[in-house]
Chains A and B, each alone.
Chain A
Amino acid sequence: MPFEAMSTAADEDLLADYAAGNASAARVLTQRLAPRVFAHAMRMLGGDRAEAEDVSQEALLRLWRAAPGWRMGEAKVSTWLYRVTANLCIDRIRRRRGGTDIDSVPEPVDETPSAAAGLQQQARAEALQGALDALPDRQRQAVILRHIEGLPNPEIAEIMDIGPRAVESLVARGKRALEAALIGRRAELGYEDDD
């Protein structure tokens, strides 16, 4: 595939090119996928940059190794990659928390420090991240994929290996918990003026 055509090529076609030994495909895939994998890992891991880099590197390493046997038309590269990334993140979170099933642990109170009035977008994003971190893993994953990554429910269902109705349920429960944690802080985060 010519280099100029790669920017518009599908991930799957680029992966086939990669497996065929095309070095340009390796570079384009890295530029395209690594930032998204990293961002997803950062959100899942609560902003731990070093851990997010480790997870991203591991997820992409698995992709490179899966490339020669990739079966076109069976799975989207992005779906596969989101699933691997999220699973690696959840493994790390569970190890970090001593292997307890955090889905059974009561949701902790949001301890994000108060943002002073007038804080800008970054503070709002940080407040959301703090509230996301307090969600159970699967709820957090579903909410991030649905409302930040912007994926449709059927793709999220495939990533999470559950049914679309289960996705809706997880997203709904996650959003209720986020609302409970954040709505009361809208004024201090400067959202009253936005309405």
Chain B
Amino acid sequence: MTERKDNRDDPVLPKGRQEDDALGLFFAAARAETPQPGGDFLARIEAQALAEQPRVSSPAPVVLPRRPERLAQLREALGGWIGVTGLATACAAGILIGVSSQDSLSVFWGGDAAGLGTLGVDPLSGFDLALMEG
């Protein structure tokens, strides 16, 4: 706020009026007797100012788009759940075939005629035999 000033320094009043303004003496007394607020009142105003003060909210955390997890990436690469299911089935079948005895698998081949034992599959290739026999 603008500081108070004595009307003797008043740039608005003509110079001659400043000195002989009879009311100036009363105004000077009023300025010297400026009413002062009490300490309790000032404390109340300060508390009110702090209570009304806008709270500076911390910036909202930025939500970054989540990177897909590795498993999800793999799943997508295999063609989604359908692809994964097919692959899992194929793996299970492969393991089953691998661990089963040849004869037990004959049921899948349509009886003894098609049994692996009957077919006489030689586990060694010609290359292997040549290598062993020198």
- Which residue of chain B has the shortest Cβ distance to A149 in the bound complex? B4
Cα of A183 to Cα of B46 in the assembled complex, Å: 42
Given contact pairs A42-B35, A47-B35, A155-B2, a sample of 13 additional A-B residue pairs in the complex whose CB atoms are under 8 Å apart: A21-B55, A21-B56, A26-B53, A56-B37, A57-B41, A60-B45, A61-B52, A128-B30, A147-B23, A148-B4, A152-B11, A178-B23, A182-B23
Cα of A35 to Cα of B38 in the assembled complex, Å: 9
Q: Does B32 contact A (CB under 8 A)?
A: yes
Contacts of B55 in A (CB 8 A): 21
Cα of A42 to Cα of B36 in the assembled complex, Å: 9
Cβ-neighbour of B30 out of A23, A64, A77, A129 (below 8 A):
A129
Cα of A26 to Cα of B37 in the assembled complex, Å: 17
- Which residue of chain A has the shortest Cβ distance to B24 in the bound complex? A147
How many Å from the CB of B10 to the closest CB on chain A?
8
> Would you list 13 pairs from A and B whose C-beta atoms are within 8 A, ordered by A residue?
A18-B49, A20-B56, A21-B56, A30-B46, A31-B42, A64-B49, A64-B52, A128-B30, A148-B27, A150-B10, A152-B2, A182-B26, A186-B25
The CB with the most chain B CB atoms within 10 A, among A30, A49, A147, is that of: A147
B100-134 with Cβ < 8 A to chain A: none
Please report the total number of B residues contacting A with Cβ < 8 Å: 38
Cα of A35 to Cα of B5 in the assembled complex, Å: 16
Q: Does B64 contact A (CB under 8 A)?
A: no
Q: Does B68 contact A (CB under 8 A)?
A: no
Contact A35/B49 with A21-B56, A155-B2, A194-B25 known, Cβ cut-off 8 Å:
no
Cα of A61 to Cα of B3 in the assembled complex, Å: 23
Residue ranges of A at the interface with B (Cβ–Cβ < 8 Å):
11, 18-21, 23, 26-27, 29-36, 38-39, 42-43, 47, 49, 52-53, 56-57, 60-61, 64-65, 67-68, 77-78, 81-82, 121-122, 124-129, 147-153, 155, 175, 178-179, 182-183, 186, 191, 194
Count A-B contacts at CB 8 Å.
132
Cα of A21 to Cα of B56 in the assembled complex, Å: 6
Contact A57/B27 with A38-B35, A43-B35, A64-B53 known, Cβ cut-off 8 Å:
no
**Inter-subunit contact B23/A179 (CB<8 Å):** yes
**Inter-subunit contact B52/A65 (CB<8 Å):** yes
Cα of A60 to Cα of B49 in the assembled complex, Å: 8
B3-39 with Cβ < 8 A to chain A: 3-7, 10-12, 22-27, 29-37
Q: Does B71 contact A (CB under 8 A)?
A: no
**Inter-subunit contact A178/B42 (CB<8 Å):** no
The CB with the most chain B CB atoms within 10 A, among A49, A81, A128, is that of: A128
- Which residue of chain B has the shortest Cβ distance to A182 in the bound complex? B26
